[in-house]
Structure 1
Amino acid sequence: MKQPLKGGLVMLSEMKENLPPSEKKIAAFILDHPHEAIHCTAAQLGELSGTSGAAVMRLCKSLDLKGLQELKLRISGDLQKEVASSYRNIQPGEEMDAIVDKVTNNNMQAIRETTELVDFAGLEKAGDAVVKARRLHFFGVGASGIIAQDAQQKFLRMNIATSAFTDVHNAVMDIANIKETDVLIGISFSGETRETALVMEEAKRRGAVTISITRYGSNTVASFADIPLYISASREIPAPFRSGATSSRMGQLHMIDLLFTKVVTSHFEEASGYFEQIQDIMTRLK
């Protein structure tokens, strides 16, 4: 399995505002001059951005990359893609055709960029952990709680004992009984939801496998994850109508679908049997 190298520009864009000053300057230069940057050494990038070669290497480490070569390969992959539409803000008084066009574009963009950030090895590891789990627990607050409930509905089809909680008090009662053979998946777009971080921390302390689904970059929820999975939706934040977590929801649902499909395809015959039994019962209920 060979992972296509793309997503370098997305990573830089997602992380830029949270980077130290010198690394932020390098990220800004690369985003403004990607074609030039892919031909530079670390020393040259440092000089062009007014920083240093050491700062360039620290940036690569902040992006969780193996080094400058991987970053340049990812950016090269980005530059070879067809030009995609960017996120588009919805303004007051928009016409209906503009609303349909912009919302559709933004949702598709969230899925595309999330796909570019997928860590194939991490997703494979997460799928294996779910298959081996005695119980599977999902937790999220607010809009992320809806994603947790959607995930529960999916994984129940695989005959996996699955729970989903959106209230921290109920989640604490659930986590109090969690075992080392269990898996907890904490969902938080920002990665800074206090309740989700608390639940993740406690599950990890009790030895359960912890998986996070958050926006790309360093954050509290991901810090408690054995397997962090990332989505992209950063451009949604400044929009004047970030109502109901629109684009972030699409990224989260996409990641859940990827994980579920990985589990199904790994045990396709078993999954087919479960689905047939469910379909048979549903037919008799009609």
Structure 2
Amino acid sequence: MDRTRNLLEQIQSRLEDLNKAERKVAEVILQDPQQATRYSIASLAQAAQVSEPTVNRFCRSFGVSGYPELKLQLAQSLASGAAYVSRAVEADDGPEAYTRKIFGSTIASLDSACQTLDPQAIDRAVDLLIQARQIHFFGLGASASVAQDAQHKFFRFNLAVSAQCDVLMQRMLASVAHTGDLFVIISYTGRTRELVEVAHLARENGASVLGLTAAGSPLARACTLSLNIPLPEDTDIYMPMTSRIIQLTVLDVLATGMTLRRGIDFQPHLRKIKESLNSTRYPSDDELL
């Protein structure tokens, strides 16, 4: 059992694989996790319309010894901020409900990603960024705007940085890559064929490739190093939401790592860039006084 993921996430991810009776137990728990922590085993069995032995089998299938331990892990999941992992937006939700659900699921997904990311992998990724002669950020679809944001952040490090969202340009740049070039490829699923091919092409020409993508995906396998980002999207909504927020946050982590590596001597450079924008802004009310 994957102990890096809380119990609610495990139940949600395995919902389709459970047998019919155990799935009934899972659905009752996911519908109201807080209430499930207050059920006795008999009450949960009755709510799910299954037998008590079925509830015990459900517990064992998730690596817990019995129902008391299951309730304890449910409570820990709720305490970690995962209360909204399974709470999808419904067709009859009003503004208060869908606003709360979207914010809640995003907060829970960020917390899950934080727990999943390997600090040693983050450190190695910062190594690749620090050592790069030039950096290319690639993304398609919803990840294209994330690549553009990365360019906006990382050019501040006095490096040659570009963001490319056109497949043909990505392929041409990868074909003339050299040792010292770093390609950062951002993809929610890691299954976009063109990006996987570009990763292979860049590495064949001596470049390093850093992936921000799903663990075990074709893109993750093609990269020099991959920062594995969980797949939190509610596919019933059919548009990218939390994955984009997680990608942006991981890039903030990497940018912070580079800033700290550069040390205090690099601060004047960053300050100079920030102060160059002062003349483009209206003064604040305090400055007018």
TM-score, structure 2 normalization: 0.71
Does 2:256 correspond to 1:261? Answer: yes
On the 8 A contact 2:6/2:77 being kept in 1, the answer is no
State the shift of 1:280 in Å.
Answer: 2.7
Aligned to 1:67: none
For 1:149 and 1:194, locate their aligned partners in 2 and report how far apart those are by CA, in whole Å: 21
Does 2:4 correspond to 1:7? Answer: yes
On the 8 A contact 1:186/1:212 being kept in 2, the answer is yes
In structure 1, runs of 5+ residues without a counterpart are 20-27, 38-75
How many positions carry a matched residue from both structures? 231
Partner SS for 1:113: helix
For 1:94 and 1:143, locate their aligned partners in 2 and report how far apart those are by CA, in whole Å: 25
For 1:182 and 1:14, locate their aligned partners in 2 and report how far apart those are by CA, in whole Å: 40
On the 8 A contact 2:84/2:101 being kept in 1, the answer is no
**RMSD after superposition:** 2.9
Does 2:238 correspond to 1:242? Answer: yes
Structure 1 segment 124-273 matched on structure 2, within 5 A: 124-215=123-214, 217-234=215-232, 236-238=233-235, 240-243=236-239, 245-273=240-268
In structure 2, runs of 5+ residues without a counterpart are 18-56, 67-72, 282-289
On the 8 A contact 1:13/1:31 being kept in 2, the answer is no
For 2:191 and 2:249, locate their aligned partners in 1 and report how far apart those are by CA, in whole Å: 21
**Structure (1 or 2) with the larger CA radius of gyration:** 2
State the shift of 1:189 in Å.
Answer: 0.6
State the shift of 1:129 in Å.
Answer: 1.0
**Structure 1's 14 and 249: CA in aligned 2 closer, same or farther, altered over 3 A?**
farther
On the 8 A contact 2:5/2:112 being kept in 1, the answer is no
Aligned to 1:82: 79
On the 8 A contact 1:139/1:187 being kept in 2, the answer is yes
Aligned to 2:65: 36
For 2:60 and 2:234, locate their aligned partners in 1 and report how far apart those are by CA, in whole Å: 19
On the 8 A contact 1:7/1:117 being kept in 2, the answer is yes
**Structure 1's 211 and 107: CA in aligned 2 closer, same or farther, altered over 3 A?**
same
State the shift of 1:33 in Å.
Answer: 3.4
On the 8 A contact 1:138/1:186 being kept in 2, the answer is yes
State the shift of 1:29 in Å.
Answer: 6.6
Amino acid at match of 1:221: L
Partner SS for 1:276: helix
Does 2:282 correspond to 1:283? Answer: no
On the 8 A contact 1:213/1:228 being kept in 2, the answer is yes
For 1:241 and 1:129, locate their aligned partners in 2 and report how far apart those are by CA, in whole Å: 36
Aligned-residue sequence identity (percent) comes to 24
**Structure 1's 29 and 117: CA in aligned 2 closer, same or farther, altered over 3 A?**
farther
For 2:121 and 2:132, locate their aligned partners in 1 and report how far apart those are by CA, in whole Å: 16
On the 8 A contact 1:110/1:250 being kept in 2, the answer is no
TM-score, structure 1 normalization: 0.72
Partner SS for 1:36: coil
Amino acid at match of 1:264: T
For 1:137 and 1:18, locate their aligned partners in 2 and report how far apart those are by CA, in whole Å: 39
For 1:166 and 1:138, locate their aligned partners in 2 and report how far apart those are by CA, in whole Å: 9
Which one has more relative contact order, counting CA pairs under 8 Å at least 6 apart? 1
